[in-house]
Each structure stands twice: as structure tokens, then as C-alpha cells.
Amino acid sequence: MIPALLAQIGLPLIARLAGAGLEALDNPAADAAARALREVDGVLQSGGVAPEALDAANRRIETEARSREAETALREVNATMRAETRAEDAYVRRWRPTFGYAVTAAWAMQMAAIAWAVVAHPTDAPAILAAAASLSAMWGVALAVLGVAVHERSRDKALAAGQPAPGLASLAAALLDRRKAE
């Protein structure tokens, strides 16, 4: 029911809003586009377009919006990384190792505390281990950030040393070489 409702609302609403915005411009080209959008809206409202086609159009619009959002996020991350590389402040350049040491220390302290608690209170071991398991999402995020930081730092060092960044062809060649060696 909800997808059908969204299909009826999505594209028709966009056509109606865009048409109203274009009408306000007082420009012959904008007026022609607004008339065309009113015509499209009329066809959509009268059922002249199959619901499946309308669903497909709405999905495409949503996909394009998500793609633009992801591209913007990637651009921002890359700009941040470039700014870090150019920074004169030593700490800004060393946040990755600092984060690595902090994650390592926190992991070691948590594992030591869990081990001590299980040994000191064996009757509470199931609850302690269940509580530790509930932290897996948090550790997953922290370790993923650490993994990306280590990978990117290794890549930065390789590029600084003049080694070309591995492309798809070099990765495929490395996999083939590895298979031949086996």
C-alpha cells in the first residue's frame, strides 16, 4: 500500500512543484516548460501512465538523489583528506596513529576487564559475555575506521615514494600471479 501511495505522490508532486516554480520566473522558456509539466501532471493524474512505469520513474529519481548525495559526501571526505595532508600542524597529520593507539589501548583494557570479570565471577560469565557481544557494533565501526586509516596511510606513503597507485589491471595481474604460484 505504501509503495503505491508513494508512486502516486512522488513524480506528480515533483512535476507540480517544478511547474509552479517555473511559472514564477516570467520567462518564455520557463512558461513553456511549466505548460509541459502541467500536461505531464494531467496525464499522471488521469492514469495515462502505468503504475509500474511511475514506480520505475520514482525509483530512478530516488537513485539519482542518493547517488548525488554519495558523490557530495565523497567529495567532502577527499577535500578533508587533502587538507590534512597539507596541514602544517603535526597533530592534524598524526591523528591516524593517535586513533590507532587509542583503539588498541581501549580494546586491551576492555578485554582484560572482561577476562578478569569472567574469572572472578564465573556465575556471571554468560551475562558478561552477552554484554561484551552487544558492543560488537561499536567495535565494528571503530575497527573499520582504523582499517581505512591504515590503508589510506599506506597508500599515501606509497604515492609519496613515487609508486603508482594500483589500478584494476595491476590488481588483476597480482591475482593471476598469485594463482600461478599456487
Is 62 in the same domain as 117?
Answer: no
Is 95 in the same domain as 182?
Answer: yes
Can you give the pLDDT at residue 73?
A: 82
Is 109 in the same domain as 153?
Answer: yes
Q: How many CB atoms lie within 10 A of CB 91?
A: 8
* Structure-model confidence comparison of residues 6 and 173, the more confident one: 173
Is 180 in the same domain as 97?
Answer: yes
Q: Is the pLDDT of residue 16 over 60?
A: yes
Last residue of a domain, one of 53, 86, 119: 86
Q: How many CB atoms lie within 10 A of CB 11?
A: 22
Distance between start and end Cα atoms, the chain: 55
Computed over every residue of the chain, the mean pLDDT equals 78
Is 105 in the same domain as 174?
Answer: yes
Is 50 in the same domain as 95?
Answer: no
Is 94 in the same domain as 82?
Answer: no
Is 80 in the same domain as 94?
Answer: no
* Structure-model confidence comparison of residues 88 and 124, the more confident one: 124
Last residue of a domain, one of 86, 114, 141: 86
Is 74 in the same domain as 104?
Answer: no
C-alpha cell at 119: 574469572
Q: Is the pLDDT of residue 64 over 60?
A: yes
Can you give the pLDDT at residue 166?
A: 63
Q: How many CB atoms lie within 10 A of CB 27?
A: 12
User: Total domain count for the chain?
Assistant: 2
The C-alpha atoms of residue 10 and residue 14 are separated, in whole angstroms, by 6
Is 110 in the same domain as 179?
Answer: yes
Is 78 in the same domain as 103?
Answer: no
* Structure-model confidence comparison of residues 114 and 37, the more confident one: 114
Can you give the pLDDT at residue 111?
A: 94
DSSP readout, 116-172?
Answer: HHHHH-GGGHHHHHHHHHTTHHHHHHHHHHHHHHHHHHHHHHHHHTTPPPP-HHHHH
Last residue of a domain, one of 86, 106, 139: 86
State which residues form the domain around 171: 90-182
By C-alpha distance, which of 110, 115, 167 is closest to 143?
110
C-alpha cell at 70: 554519495
